[in-house]
A and B are shown apart, each in its own frame.
Chain A
Amino acid sequence: MISRRDFLQVSMAASAMVGASGFGNWSRLAAKQSLTQDDLLQFDTYGNVSLIHITDIHAQLKPIYFREPEINLGVGDAFGHVPHVTGADFRKLYGIADGSPSAYALTYNDFTAMAQTYGRVGGMDRVSTVINSIRADRPDALLLDGGDTWHGSYTCHHTQGQDVVNVMNALKPDAMTFHWEFTLGSDRVNEIVEGLPFAALGQNIFDAEWDEPAELFKPYKFFERGGVNIAVIGQAFPYMPIANPRWMFPEYSFGIRDENMQAMVDEVRGMGAELVVVLSHNGFDVDKKMAGKVSGIDVILSGHTHDALPEPVLVGDTIIVASGSNGKFISRVDLDVRDGKMMGFQTKLIPIFSDVIAPDPVITKLIDEQRAPYINELTEVIGQTDSLLYRRGNFNGTWDDLICQALIEEREADISMSPGVRWGPSILPGQDITREDIWNVTSMSYGEAYRTEMTGEFIKVILEDVGDNLFNVDPYYQQGGDMVRIGGMGYSIDVFKPQGSRISDMTLLKTGESIDPAKTYQVAGWASVNEGTEGPMIWDVVEDHIRRKGTVHVEPHENVKVTGA
Chain B
Amino acid sequence: MDFTRRETLALGAGAAVMAVLPFQVQAAADDAIAEFTGGADVAMGGVELTAPEIAENGNTVPVSVSAPGATAIVIYATGNPTPGVATFNFGPLAASQTASTRIRLAGTQEVVAIAKMADGSFAKASSTVKVTIGGCGG
Task: State which residues 301-317 of A face B: CB under 8 Å.
Answer: 304-306
Query: Which residues of B have CB within 8 Å of A255?
Result: 52-53, 56
A469, B132: Cβ atoms closer than 8 Å: yes
A466, B54: Cβ atoms closer than 8 Å: no
**Chain A residue with Cβ nearest B134:** A242
Query: Which residues of B have CB within 8 Å of A51?
Result: none
B136, A283: Cβ atoms closer than 8 Å: no
A304, B57: Cβ atoms closer than 8 Å: no
Complex Cα–Cα for A477 and B3 (A) = 23
* Interface size, chain B (Cβ < 8 Å): 30
Of the candidates B19, B55, B137, the one whose C-beta lies within 8 Å of that of A243 is B137
A525, B2: Cβ atoms closer than 8 Å: yes
Interface locus among B8-16, B35-43, B83-91, B114-122: B8-16
B135, A529: Cβ atoms closer than 8 Å: yes
The yes or no answer to B92 lying at the interface (CB within 8 A) is no
Query: Which residues of A have CB within 8 Å of B138?
Result: 243, 283, 304-306, 420-423, 479-482
Main secondary structure of the interface of A (DSSP, over half): loop
Chain B min CB distance to A326 (Å): 12
B12, A461: Cβ atoms closer than 8 Å: yes
Chain A min CB distance to B91 (Å): 25
0/1 interface trace, chain B 126-137, chain A, CB 8 Å (1 if under): 001010111111
B136, A421: Cβ atoms closer than 8 Å: yes
A239, B2: Cβ atoms closer than 8 Å: no
A457, B137: Cβ atoms closer than 8 Å: no
Query: Which residues of A have CB within 8 Å of B134?
Result: 239, 242-243, 469, 479, 529
* Interface size, chain A (Cβ < 8 Å): 60
B1, A529: Cβ atoms closer than 8 Å: yes
Interface centre among B8, B16, B108, B130 (most CB of A within 10 A): B130
A466, B135: Cβ atoms closer than 8 Å: yes
**Chain B residue with Cβ nearest A460:** B15
Chain B min CB distance to A558 (Å): 22
B1, A458: Cβ atoms closer than 8 Å: no
Interface locus among A13-21, A135-143, A377-385, A448-456: A448-456
A256, B53: Cβ atoms closer than 8 Å: yes
Of the candidates B7, B19, B56, the one whose C-beta lies within 8 Å of that of A253 is B56
A246, B1: Cβ atoms closer than 8 Å: no
0/1 interface trace, chain A 362-390, chain B, CB 8 Å (1 if under): 00000000000000000000000000000
Task: State which residues 45-89 of B face A: CB under 8 Å.
Answer: 50, 52-57, 62
**Chain A residue with Cβ nearest B130:** A477
A477, B56: Cβ atoms closer than 8 Å: no
Query: Which residues of A have CB within 8 Å of B24?
Result: none
Of the candidates B12, B19, B132, B136, the one whose C-beta lies within 8 Å of that of A527 is B136
Query: Which residues of A have CB within 8 Å of B55?
Result: 242
Complex Cα–Cα for A450 and B3 (A) = 9
The yes or no answer to B100 lying at the interface (CB within 8 A) is yes
A420, B1: Cβ atoms closer than 8 Å: no
Complex Cα–Cα for A254 and B137 (A) = 14
* B-binding residues in A (CB < 8 A): 179-180, 208, 211, 237-244, 246, 253-256, 259, 283, 304-306, 417, 419-423, 448, 450, 452, 454-455, 457-458, 461-462, 465-466, 468-469, 474, 476-477, 479-482, 484, 499-500, 525, 527-530, 532-535
Across chains A and B, which 7 residue pairs bring their CB atoms closest together, nearest first? A243-B137, A450-B2, A528-B2, A242-B134, A241-B56, A419-B136, A533-B2
Can you offer 7 A-B residue contacts whose CB atoms are under 8 A? Answer: A211-B62, A242-B137, A243-B135, A243-B138, A458-B8, A480-B138, A525-B2
